[in-house]
Amino acid sequence: MRAGPADAGCPRTIAPIIAAMSESPTLELACGLIRCASVTPDDAGCQSMLADRLAPLGFRAESMRFEDVDNLWARRGGDGPLLVLLGHTDVVPTGPPDDWSSPPFEPTIRDGILYGRGAADMKGSIAAMVTAIERFVERHPEHRGSVALLVTSDEEGPSVNGIRRVIETLGRRGEHIDWCLVGEPSSTDRLGDTVRIGRRGSLNGTMVVRGIQGHVAYPHLARNPVHDLARLLAKLADTVWDEGGEHFPPTSFQVSNVTAGTGADNVIPGQAEAVFNFRFSTRHDRDSLVAEVESACRGFGLDCDIDWRLSGEPFLTKPGRLIEAVGSAVVSVVGYRPELSTAGGTSDGRFVAPTGAEVVELGPVNASIHSIDEHVLAADLDRLSDMYERVITDLLAG
Ligand SMILES: [Zn+2]
């Protein structure tokens, strides 16, 4: 089945041909969201569509715009415990639209598969969250605690004015999150086979080693920073930072760029530069890694400056109510138990975990995310919505 041509701007109603799919409100909403060309940080109207859905259910929908980033905080209930469903409406650029089998912002179903930018990452999940909330509220209007939807439009970008700023705001207000279910596409081969219960930390550094420029024929009058840098990098690359743990692979140090030299073959350059990254387990944090690298620099007696950029500290959600609820929801819907993993890239869960919340990611199969012809099994969206509803019910039905 093929959707009608994309409307100008972002439609609030779904084109008639998609209405034919109204036996699945989740699929219908996912299609509506995909039609909004919301490339980071442009939300393109997605969040107002979500707010319009939730407001009649008794949610207090608040749009929080920081700089050029739209965020939506919609909460139902004033008491704890607070369960937050977390996602993002922004998508990565499409790449050449002509390389797609169908236009990237025109949701298209072929052989039971929904194609479109954001289908898997993560407009399908957001649609599943909203319809799960709708059914839950209808069945449990007097639920305990609070349920909230938190959505940003810069998860795929710098992640500065999105969830990070919203969490700061909620913290100032004393709105404490107990559980956070993230809709990132966590599944590997089939829906629910993997859920993420933590993430490795990521720390980048740019190191500049200064020497003394000179003629290669007179090395005693120069100091070669390439040789110094090479010795230091060899030591760091050989270091066993830790052995990993039950849920984490060993911490890894990787060099991504090395630059030095004047281009001439008879000049010892004045400085050399390396860019590197740590992916690290909860056995380390930013400060411990910085201290070890700086001590190695001192050990070699180097004149060295390092510019550090932390993408996120690692986190691990301990076994508790949320992991339990997610595990049994997956088993109830698909019949198998998910693997608990910390692999993959970073997500906005890294900004929520430090508040003390339990954070778990459960979403569709991630094989096609960020690719040409991004897609998701259409039937998976209903199953995912069912899983989300079971988690909410388990935690808040009362
Ligand atoms: Zn994502």
In a shared domain, residues 71 and 147: yes
CB neighbours of residue 126 within 10 Å:
27
Q: What is the pLDDT of residues 196-214, one digit of tens each?
A: 999 899 999 999 999 999 9
Task: Specify whether 305 is located in the same domain as 325.
Answer: no
Domain housing 232: 201-312
- Show which of 263, 295, 312 is a domain's final residue: 312
Taking 3-state DSSP, the helix, strand and coil percentages for the chain, each rounded to the nearest 5, stand at 35, 25, 40
Shared domain check, 40 and 180: yes
Statement to judge: residues 263 and 320 lie in one domain: no
- Residues carrying an active site annotation: 90, 155
CA 276–ligand 1 middle distance (angstroms): 24
What was the pLDDT predicted at 398? 73
Strand boundaries in the chain, DSSP class E: 60-66, 69-76, 82-88, 108-110, 113-115, 146-152, 179-182, 194-196, 198-199, 201-210, 214-215, 252-260, 267-268, 271-280, 303-312, 315-316, 339-341, 358-361, 375-377
Q: Which residue ranges of the chain lie beneath pLDDT 70?
A: 1-22
Same domain, 82 and 169: yes
**Among residues 291, 312, 333, which one ends one of the domains?**
312
pLDDT of residue 57: 97
Q: Is the dihedral of CA 35, 39, 44, 47 positive or negative?
A: positive
Q: What is the pLDDT of residue 346?
A: 75
Is 77 part of any domain?
yes
Which residue, 312, 340, 361, sits at the end of a domain?
A: 312
Same domain, 53 and 147: yes
Question: Do 248 and 377 have their domain in common?
Answer: no
Q: Tell me the CA–centroid distance for residue 363 and ligand 1, in Å.
A: 10
For the segment 330-349, what is each residue's pLDDT rounded down to a tens digit?
999 999 999 999 987 778 99
CA 137 to chain centre: 27
What is the distance between the alpha carbons of residues 312 and 286, in angstroms, rounded to a whole number? 9
Q: Identify whether residues 219 and 183 lie together within a single domain.
A: no
Residues 245 and 114 in one domain: no
The rounded distance, in Å, linking the Cα atoms of 202 and 252 is 10
Given this model, what pLDDT does residue 157 score? 85
> Ligand 1 center to residue 161 CA distance, Å?
16
User: Would residue 2 count as lying in a domain?
Assistant: no
Tell me the Cα Rg of the chain: 24
Domain containing 218 — which CATH number?
3.30.70.360
| 150 in any annotated domain | yes
Q: What is the count of structural domains for the chain? A: 2
Tell me the whole-structure pTM to 2 decimals: 0.83
Distance of CA 121 from the midpoint of ligand 1 (Å): 5
In a domain, 81, yes or no: yes
Residue 323 is assigned to a structural domain of this protein: yes
Centre of ligand 1 to C-alpha 345, Å, is 10
pLDDT at residue 184 in the model: 96
Question: What is the predicted pLDDT for the residue at 308?
Answer: 98
- 216 and 92 part of one domain: no
Q: For residues 241 and 232, what is the distance between their CA atoms, to the nearest angstrom?
A: 15
Ligand 1 centroid distance, CA of 300 (Å): 42
Say how many Å lie between the CA of residue 135 and the centre of ligand 1.
24
